[in-house]
């Protein structure tokens, strides 16, 4: 449950980054890459932990959602994470990914009666 809340908060921070920042001038700039790598590494670790714990909860029948929803949410979060820095996707598509992440997080909260 705690990881789901962290995931939602991180998703909102990334959304703010996407909305407020401009596309980088040079996406191949090594210093930009290092900044992105440093800032995103903890979030990649978060989504990995979230996926493992969520799949374990499904196996224990604590969650009533399909495992594919968890895997898709991880993929969507990773896409959002990268698009939040590289700003190379249309806003509509970005918001659809955000909405999909939030939907699954809300399902998990509902299952835990949060």
pLDDT digits (tens, 9 = 90+) for 63-85: 999 999 999 999 999 999 999 99
In this prediction, residue 113 carries a pLDDT of 80
- With vertex at residue 31, the alpha carbon angle to CA 30 and CA 35, rounded to the nearest 5 degrees, is 115
The three-state DSSP-derived secondary structure of 51-95 is HHHHHHHHHCCCCCCCHHHHHHHHHHHHHHHHHHHHCCCCHHHHH
Q: Name the more confident of 103 and 88.
A: 103
> In the predicted model, what is the mean pLDDT of residues 10-32?
89
The answer to whether the beta carbons of residues 78 and 44 sit under 8 Å apart is yes
């Amino acid at each position: 449950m705690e990881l789901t809340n962290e995931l939602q908060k991180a998703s909102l921070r990334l959304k703010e980054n996407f909305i407020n920042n401009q596309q980088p001038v040079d996406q191949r700039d090594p210093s930009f890459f290092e900044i992105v790598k440093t800032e995103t590494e903890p979030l990649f670790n978060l989504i990995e932990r979230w996926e493992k714990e969520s799949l374990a909860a499904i196996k224990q029948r604590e969650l009533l959602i399909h495992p594919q929803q968890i895997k898709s949410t991880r993929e969507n979060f990773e896409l959002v994470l990268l698009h939040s820095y590289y700003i190379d996707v249309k806003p509509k598509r970005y918001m659809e990914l955000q909405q999909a992440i939030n939907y699954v997080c809300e399902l998990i909260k509902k299952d835990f009666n949060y």
